[in-house]
């Protein structure tokens, strides 16, 4: 999702506003002679730092160097220890303090190599790191043992595109019933859960302690430690807890089909196994373990027991992957999004993937811990804010540092946000964009926290994002359309003009320049027999990419996209059903420097680059084009780097309080104002032969005023040439 290399100038502010505070607190006690050297060394080596999407380990290396420098200073009583002292300290720091997780096995190995190289001392073996740097999906899995008590979630049996509706419903109803019955004897079950899992934990921890205390000074000792670690992960306590955690999560991923129904497990069976009343080595659990291996579930309390048993990490640093809400479904799969929505607070909506990492990070740190991240600027906006920083609000944490718009060093045209949070209330200084402030709210501004507005029922089903076709092969030019219709006249039923953002803002008539094939929900056999030519086009241009396999033989795109390759990724049936009776509709581009609304004829297929509003009257055009709505939209939508506003219907439109109880005269005035404005703008664009974007850029240009025109301005010069032409 993002580069595995992170520039050092972005890493250092993260360390300064998180790990540095922890180190300073330890060294201050030593300087004040409140603790001796031995205890200070122990305190530094007791720090636990993790990167939950560590990549090749660049951020972990920077953190390890900072702790190693502090440790070497204490060991040598020198402000600037020699390189040999720092390297020896580094070996101890890597062994005791540094943890990392990444879903990419290659990244995990590269991270180990980077740490080995940094901590290598001549004549000594490399650190054993298999128990500290691990491969797994940091946000799909359980954080704490107590989460096992939740049992099998009803959401795990939600009907998705690949599921048999009847089978999914049967198992969901069964699970709902069992969970209701369980509620009646919650206390008894809780006691049984504590007893059964505690025994497994104690057994696993005994094995882990034996392994962890083994020395690492010779190659033989490293080999002995490696064998002891394998013994730990094969121990009865570890395998039982992992199998139960895998089984709980796997129910989301197992398709609810005839072939799989005997592998599904509902809450009652899960409880019996968890409480020790039923054996766990059966085919249902085996299936779950296989799914977990494929999906790389990561259960923190099992993988890092010595950390989670002590309350969690002291500090999480990182550069988590960024992936917009809708792209999660396209790139990772609908099941993946469903499990995030079910298992993370405020997980619904279209939050960026990075925001789920924020919430996960906060669940695995101590109450006195820090999370410090390089992330996307949407982290403080819309659904992403609710999932990440919104969770921080619920636990009473503090945002202590933020730089809201930092240009990524180098050639990549990327703007990121740096942010550090404390899990508890912060009583020291706050920094916002390099300035000291009194506090920082979840919008990453100074001041008291603002309450997000609620959606208003009357605004429901009035705004839509356009169709997400996922495949340029659906798109045709005019000549291709004519040729297809000549060969197969039925094709007219599934050929539509296709309006995208470029056509809307660049074409003076706001007309589509291309066409698109749209099979809606039609079954494959009907498409193949009735619309043969269109089907052949998609079979040639769309199917190969939709059904492409990776090296392991798995679909690159998650189901149902490869299975229903002739259909759009998101067809938006409610959009077209709601607007079916309208002659024209109101549209705007989702991403734009200027928020511009305009009417277009109905009957097109609208691109996902557009927001469509189910209105055909000038009254609503006036209200939605007003400065009041524009301010509201900028405040409650997200932004997209230098591109401007990314209009979010759920937070900008559905929450907007349109005026109520207008009298007929007021409504007539608004109609008249809207019509006059829309018509004037249309005539201006026709006269100048300019599209919406260029017209608004000139309107807002500081080089053109009522008093003067700046001839040296590029936009003015371009306009003059255009008008002359």
Share of the chain above pLDDT 90, in %: 66
Sign for the pseudo-dihedral over CA of 86, 88, 92, 98: positive
**Does residue 299 register a pLDDT over 70?**
yes
**Does residue 557 register a pLDDT over 70?**
yes
Please report the pLDDT score of residue 411 as a whole number. 66
Please report the pLDDT score of residue 181 as a whole number. 84
Q: What is the rounded distance in angstroms from the CA atom of residue 221 to the CA atom of residue 122?
A: 17
Three-state secondary structure of 237-302: HHHHHHHHHHHHHHCCCCCCCCCCHHHCCCHHHHHHHHCCCCCCCCHHHHHHHHHHHHHCECCHHH
Residue 78, SS3 per DSSP:
coil
Local confidence band at 196 (pLDDT 50, 70, 90 cut-offs): low
**Does residue 212 register a pLDDT over 80?**
no
Mean pLDDT of 354-361: 96
**Does residue 2 register a pLDDT over 50?**
no
Mean pLDDT of 157-165: 87
Q: What is the rounded distance in angstroms from the CA atom of residue 299 to the CA atom of residue 145?
A: 9
- DSSP letter assigned to residue 680: H
From 90-94, 502-506, 640-644, the region with the lowest mean pLDDT: 640-644
Q: Of the segments 232-236, 332-336, 510-514, which one has the largest average pLDDT value?
A: 510-514
- DSSP letter assigned to residue 600: E
The per-residue pLDDT of the chain, averaged, comes to 90
Q: What is the rounded distance in angstroms from the CA atom of residue 171 to the CA atom of residue 480?
A: 48
Please report the pLDDT score of residue 126 as a whole number. 80
**Does residue 1 register a pLDDT over 50?**
no
**Does residue 66 register a pLDDT over 80?**
yes
Mean pLDDT of 545-551: 82
Local confidence band at 645 (pLDDT 50, 70, 90 cut-offs): confident
Q: Which of 232, 160, 90, 24 is nearest to 558 (CA)?
A: 160
Mean pLDDT of 553-563: 77
Contacting residues for 450 by C-beta, under 8 A, at least 6 apart: 441, 443
Element (H, E) at 494: none
- Which CA distances in Å does 128 have to 90, 201, 217, 722? 14, 23, 10, 68
Q: What are phi and psi of 399, to 5 degrees?
A: -85, 120
Provide the CA 533 distance to its chain's centre, in angstroms. 39
Residue 460, SS3 per DSSP:
coil
Please report the pLDDT score of residue 678 as a whole number. 96
**Does residue 94 register a pLDDT over 90?**
yes
Please report the pLDDT score of residue 643 as a whole number. 62
The secondary structure of 85-135 as a DSSP string is HHHHHHHHHHHHTEEEEES-HHHHHHHHHHHHHHH--TTSPPPP-TTTEEE
Beta bridge partner(s), residue 49 = 98, 315
Please report the pLDDT score of residue 3 as a whole number. 41
Mean pLDDT of 50-59: 95
Beta bridge partner(s), residue 99 = 50
Local confidence band at 188 (pLDDT 50, 70, 90 cut-offs): low
Q: What is the rounded distance in angstroms from the CA atom of residue 286 to the CA atom of residue 579?
A: 49
**Number of CB atoms found within 10 A of residue 289's CB:** 17
For residues 199, 203, 206, 212, the Cα torsion angle rounded to the nearest 10 degrees is: -120
Contacting residues for 233 by C-beta, under 8 A, at least 6 apart: 239
Mean pLDDT of 595-617: 96
The answer to whether 232 and 238 are in contact (CB under 8 A) is: yes
Please report the pLDDT score of residue 449 as a whole number. 64
Higher pLDDT, 707 or 610: 610
From 328-332, 364-368, 580-584, 667-671, the region with the lowest mean pLDDT: 328-332
Please report the pLDDT score of residue 233 as a whole number. 81
How many Cα atoms sit within 13 Å of 86 on the Cβ side?
13
Mean pLDDT of 566-589: 95
Q: What is the rounded distance in angstroms from the CA atom of residue 173 to the CA atom of residue 160?
A: 16
**685-700 pLDDT, tens digit each:** 999 999 999 999 888 8
Please report the pLDDT score of residue 702 as a whole number. 82
- Which CA distances in Å does 564 have to 65, 167, 448, 572? 51, 20, 49, 15
**103-134 pLDDT, tens digit each:** 999 999 999 999 999 998 887 888 889 899 99
Q: What are phi and psi of 102, to 5 degrees?
A: -150, 145
Instruction: State yes or no: cis peptide before 327, omega within 30 of 0.
Output: no
The answer to whether 131 and 100 are in contact (CB under 8 A) is: no
Contacting residues for 182 by C-beta, under 8 A, at least 6 apart: 151, 189, 267, 268, 271
Please report the pLDDT score of residue 721 as a whole number. 85
- Its pTM stands at 0.78
Local confidence band at 552 (pLDDT 50, 70, 90 cut-offs): low
**12-50 pLDDT, tens digit each:** 999 999 999 999 999 999 999 999 999 999 999 999 999
The answer to whether 18 and 63 are in contact (CB under 8 A) is: no
Share of the chain above pLDDT 70, in %: 95
């Amino acid at each position: 999702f993002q580069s595995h290399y992170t520039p050092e100038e972005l890493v250092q502010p993260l360390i300064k506003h998180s790990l540095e505070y922890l180190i300073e607190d330890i060294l201050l006690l030593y300087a004040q002679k409140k603790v001796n050297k031995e205890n200070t060394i122990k305190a530094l080596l007791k720090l636990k730092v993790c990167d939950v999407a560590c990549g090749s380990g660049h951020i972990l290396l920077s953190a390890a160097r900072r702790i190693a420098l502090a440790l070497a200073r204490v060991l040598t009583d020198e402000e600037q220890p020699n390189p040999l002292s720092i390297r020896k300290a580094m070996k101890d720091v890597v062994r005791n303090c540094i943890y990392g997780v990444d879903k990419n096995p290659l990244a995990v190995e590269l991270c180990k190599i980077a740490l080995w190289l940094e901590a290598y001392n001549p004549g000594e073996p490399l650190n054993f790191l298999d128990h500290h740097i691990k491969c797994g999906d940091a946000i799909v899995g359980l954080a704490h043992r107590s989460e096992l008590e939740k049992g099998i979630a009803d959401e795990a049996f939600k009907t998705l595109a690949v599921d048999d509706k009847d089978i999914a419903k049967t198992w969901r109803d069964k699970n709902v019933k069992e969970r209701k019955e369980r509620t009646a004897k919650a206390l008894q079950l809780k006691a049984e859960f504590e007893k059964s899992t505690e025994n497994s934990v104690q057994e696993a921890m005994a094995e882990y302690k034996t392994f962890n205390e083994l020395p690492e000074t010779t190659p033989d000792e490293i080999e002995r430690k490696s064998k002891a670690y394998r013994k730990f992960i094969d121990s009865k306590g570890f395998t039982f807890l992992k199998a139960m955690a895998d089984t709980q999560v796997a129910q989301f991923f197992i398709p609810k089909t005839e072939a799989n129904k005997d592998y599904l497990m509902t809450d009652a069976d899960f409880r019996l196994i968890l409480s020790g009343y039923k054996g766990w080595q059966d085919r249902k659990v085996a299936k779950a373990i296989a799914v977990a291996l494929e999906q790389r579930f990561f259960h923190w309390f099992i993988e890092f027991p010595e950390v989670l048993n002590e309350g969690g990490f002291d500090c999480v640093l990182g550069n988590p992957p960024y992936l917009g809400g809708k792209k999660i479904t396209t790139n990772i799969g609908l099941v993946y999004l469903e499990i995030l929505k079910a298992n993370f607070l405020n997980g619904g909506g279209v939050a960026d993937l990075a925001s789920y990492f924020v919430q996960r990070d906060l669940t695995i740190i101590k109450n006195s811990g820090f999370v410090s991240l390089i992330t996307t600027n949407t982290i403080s906006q819309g659904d992403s804010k609710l999932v990440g920083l919104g969770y921080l609000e619920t636990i009473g944490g503090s945002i202590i540092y933020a730089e809201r718009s930092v240009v990524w060093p180098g050639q990549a045209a990327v703007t990121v946000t740096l942010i550090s949070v404390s899990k508890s209330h912060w009583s020291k200084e706050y920094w916002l964009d390099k300035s000291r402030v009194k506090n920082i709210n979840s919008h990453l501004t100074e001041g008291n926290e603002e309450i997000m507005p609620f959606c208003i029922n009357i605004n429901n089903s009035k705004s839509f994002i356009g169709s997400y076709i996922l495949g340029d092969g659906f798109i045709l030019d005019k000549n291709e359309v004519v040729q297809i219709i000549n060969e197969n006249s039925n094709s007219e039923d599934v050929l539509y003009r296709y309006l995208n953002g470029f056509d809307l803002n660049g074409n003076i008539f706001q007309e589509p320049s291309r066409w698109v094939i749209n099979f809606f929900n039609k079954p494959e056999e009907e498409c193949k027999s009735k619309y043969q030519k269109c089907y052949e086009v998609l079979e040639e241009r769309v199917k190969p990419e939709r059904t492409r396999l990776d090296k392991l033989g798995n679909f690159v795109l998650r189901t149902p996209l490869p299975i229903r390759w002739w259909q759009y990724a998101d067809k938006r049936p409610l959009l077209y059903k709601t607007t079916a009776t309208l002659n024209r509709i109101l549209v705007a581009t989702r991403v734009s420097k200027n928020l511009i609304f305009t009417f277009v004829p109905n009957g097109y297929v609208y691109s996902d680059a557009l927001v469509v509003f189910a209105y055909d009257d000038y009254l609503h055009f006036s209200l939605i084009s007003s400065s009041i709505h524009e301010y509201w939209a900028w405040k409650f939508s997200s932004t997209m780097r230098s591109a401007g506003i990314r209009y979010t219907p759920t937070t900008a439109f559905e929450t907007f309080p349109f005026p109520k109880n207008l009298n007929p005269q007021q409504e007539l005035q608004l109609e008249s104002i809207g019509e006059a404005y829309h018509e004037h703008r249309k005539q201006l664009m026709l006269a100048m032969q300019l599209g919406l974007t260029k017209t608004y850029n000139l309107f807002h240009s500081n080089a053109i005023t009522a008093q003067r025109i700046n001839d040296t301005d590029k936009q003015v010069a371009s306009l003059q040439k255009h008008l002359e032409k």
